[in-house]
Amino acid sequence: MRILGEFRRKHGRIERRFTPAERRMIGNLLRGLDETLDRSDQLAGYEDAVLRRLLPNAYPEDPEAGAQWASATRQRLATAKQETARRVAADLEAAPNGLVRLDEDGAVVWLRVLGDLRLALAERVGMDALQHDVTQPHSMVYAWLTWLQGSLVDVLDGS
């Protein structure tokens, strides 16, 4: 897979051109994230390691307070994460020739979603597995997402 450059600032926007393979890969990861978040309100969702990581219990030492917090916020947080993931998917789909152009708010959305994708991948595959053999496909995807997120942070920080 050919990898294009970093995010950059141009004419007041933040942009990066994505190859078709990159768009498909991110799209597949976003669909998986969306499907996982769909299960957040089901009993099985409380046993899913990715959901525990993305929607952590605010009160792990107090089961009653944790349950109250979850009932008040869990679904709302999952829905918000789905909406931001869908925005990234829409940005990729609407990108002419793969060129994604973002304003500052859009870049922050992308940062959050890239972070969620990295967390989900690390939970599903295991961080030790990702770090053990960097030649494995999951490890390369994780490293690429990390690099992509870092390049976006650099642009936002003005580096």
Sheet holding 8-10, edge to edge: 8-10, 13-17, 99-102
What is the domain range of residue 120?
8-157
Per the structure, the count of domains in the chain is: 1
Mean model confidence pLDDT for the chain: 89
In a domain, 84, yes or no: yes
Question: Which of 133, 120, 136 lies closest to 26 in space, CA to CA?
Answer: 120
In a domain, 135, yes or no: yes
| Distance (Å, whole) CA 15 – CA 26 | 16
Q: Please give the backbone phi and psi of residue 128, each rounded to the nearest 5 degrees, phi first.
A: -60, -45
Residue 2 is predicted with a pLDDT of 46
Cα end-to-end span (Å), the chain:
27
In a domain, 3, yes or no: no
* pLDDT (tens digit per residue) in 22-31: 999 999 999 9
* pLDDT (tens digit per residue) in 53-108: 999 888 889 988 888 888 888 899 999 999 999 999 999 999 999 999 999 999 99
Question: Which of 73, 42, 26, 53 lies closest to 126 in space, CA to CA?
Answer: 53
In a domain, 2, yes or no: no
| Distance (Å, whole) CA 90 – CA 115 | 18
Q: Are 18 and 92 in contact (CB under 8 A)?
A: yes
